[in-house]
Amino acid sequence: MNDTPDAAAVARRITERREQLGLSEDDLARRSAMAPRYLRHLLQAGPAFDLGGFLRIAAALGSSRSEMLEGRSDAPPGQGGPGPRPRLQNLTEAECWELVGTHGIGRIGLPVEPGPVVLPVNYVVDRASFAFRTGEHHAAAPEEGAAVSFQVDRIDEYLGRGWSVLALGRAHYVNDPDEVERLAGLPGASPWSGGERPCWVRIRPQEVTGRRLVSG
């Protein structure tokens, strides 16, 4: 098995990080204590030529060795690019509910000032509604009756495929103790972020739409 890092991929990551920081090639060379000509040669030759030089480059960019040579393991989705011949397909409401499953991670969109806020929450699906836990005055706690959006999606980086489901409705707090106890017993009910989150919020969508990204 060949464990030698791909020179072109490493050079691309270095260039992207350099541009992200607003550095010129000469700036990076100076920070890495090497001549610009030698920096360009290293990017063409790859880490196998002078690993120590690449480690200096990584330090100058504020990156780790593994991040530079292998890429970030926690990178946001979409790094792989689109698949061949991509196209979008509309989903039926039944397909949307099937995809979101019984529980998972979604994003709640809240109408606040100075502009809308979108926050991740772990949800449960209960009786054609989404429900999640939050705390009083927490960032994800909406006003009672607020018009909100709720989105769940999944991306397959390798195949360049995925789907997205969007629900629109109003947020209402669950106040019945028996109902709160029942929701707390559903799979996925424990908040991932921990802490005291005694409030349950239910979103019963007025509209559920979705799209699937396919390729090939």
Question: Rounded to two decimals, what is the model's pTM?
Answer: 0.71
Q: Where in the chain is the domain with CATH 2.30.110.10?
A: 87-214
* The pLDDT of residue 1: 42
Q: Where in the chain is the domain with CATH 1.10.260.40?
A: 7-70
Q: What is the CATH number of domain 87-214?
A: 2.30.110.10
* The pLDDT of residue 3: 65
SS3 call for 200: strand
43: which residues sit within 8 A by CB, 6+ positions away?
7, 10, 11, 14, 15
Q: CA 188, CA 104: separation in Å to the nearest integer?
A: 7
Mean pLDDT by 10 residues, the chain (216 residues): 75 90 93 93 90 92 86 72 85 96 96 91 95 92 96 86 96 96 93 87 97 88
Q: CA 134, CA 141: separation in Å to the nearest integer?
A: 6
Q: What is the CATH number of domain 7-70?
A: 1.10.260.40
Q: CA 40, CA 48: separation in Å to the nearest integer?
A: 15
DSSP-derived letter for residue 142 is P
82: which residues sit within 8 A by CB, 6+ positions away?
160, 215
* The pLDDT of residue 25: 93
